[in-house]
Amino acid sequence: MGPQLHTAVLGATGYSGYELARLLLRHPRVETPVLLSRSAEKDSRPDLAHLYPALSGNGGYPMEPFSWDLLQQRGVELLFLATPHETSRALAPEALARGLRVIDLSGAWRLKEEQNRAVYKFEDKDAATAAELTEKAIYGLPELHADRIFGAPLVANPGCYATSVILALAPLVKAGVIDREKGIISDSKSGVSGAGKEPTAKTHFVSVADNLSAYGVFGHRHLGEILEQLTLHTAEFIFTPHLLPIPRGILSTIYVHLNRTMQSHEVEGYFREFYAGKRWVRVFPTPQLPQIQYSLYSNYCDIGFHLAQDGRRLVLVSCLDNLLKGAAGQAVQNMNLMYGWKEDEGLQ
């Protein structure tokens, strides 16, 4: 199989970072990853198994304080950034300058257009380098960009909501069968882990349990990704995310009008043709629809649809695990493509 890849995960204590570490620890082509803490305190997070006891009993997984010297000493070749957007924006240029390759799970490098990137309010110390890397970064949605991910130095892992919506709409956008003038609406719902590990007033149990709430209306950070990847105009698309009282999982219900009368087998045909050979997208035969429980703890994105009797109105349903296909699993999928391995290695 050849020498194993040396990786490091910065931010392994977060929900996505933990899932990523867990996947890398069992990947057949990867050496035990270096698990890094952003804290300067050497013993502040001594072992990942202390925070996540599910890892207990395997000898321990020590956390180490981040430093470039440590990465060099350990021979790290690929750095995963499971860090806040601003941190990734600052660290990626230095990592690339030091010869590392980077897969970034934040939103730091996903967006090409300045008006979409403005939601992050980045303040780059070296604007010229940041602009150069913004153009070079590959949007890591394997089902759309697998050929560009191979050999890429910097891959921007997509947002979880964005993944669910883009994968549901891409075949129809490519086929040119959507009546874009009538608009597209995506009503998306996510489990609480999508908000990250740090608790807030809106994500405490008392606020979330037995409740359902909309947020980020007309201003969610993943909106720009959807627009850019599907080449949609702002006026053609409405995206509203909601918080579900469950730990993980996403369900996006997407409403579209077609520009000609179609039959269900035609719609299904577009999806099956587009995703032929794509390991991690499952197209459900109509009238079966995906549910969150079907894709939990997997790297699958499940897509189904119902076509109205008039043959012109279509409802799409797209489900995935926000911490796997929406984050860590997709990051490993991107790593596999970057190094020319099978797309499902370490994810089965």
Q: Which residues pair with 281 in a beta bridge?
A: 301
Are the C-beta atoms of 211 and 245 separated by less than 8 Å? yes
Distance CA 192, CA 133 (A): 32
Catalytic residue among 91, 130, 160, 281: 160
- What's the gap between Cα 50 and its chain centre? 26
CA distances from 334 to 129, 254, 275, 322, 342 (A): 24, 26, 17, 16, 10
- Decide if 301 is catalytic: no
CB atoms within 10 A of CB 42: 11
Q: State the pairing for strand pair 138-139/101-104.
A: unpaired
CB atoms within 10 A of CB 336: 22
Are the C-beta atoms of 35 and 7 separated by less than 8 Å? no
Q: Which residues pair with 242 in a beta bridge?
A: 189, 214
Distance CA 48, CA 338 (A): 27
Output the six-digit token pair for 58.
Answer: 């395997």
By annotation, the residues acting in catalysis are 160
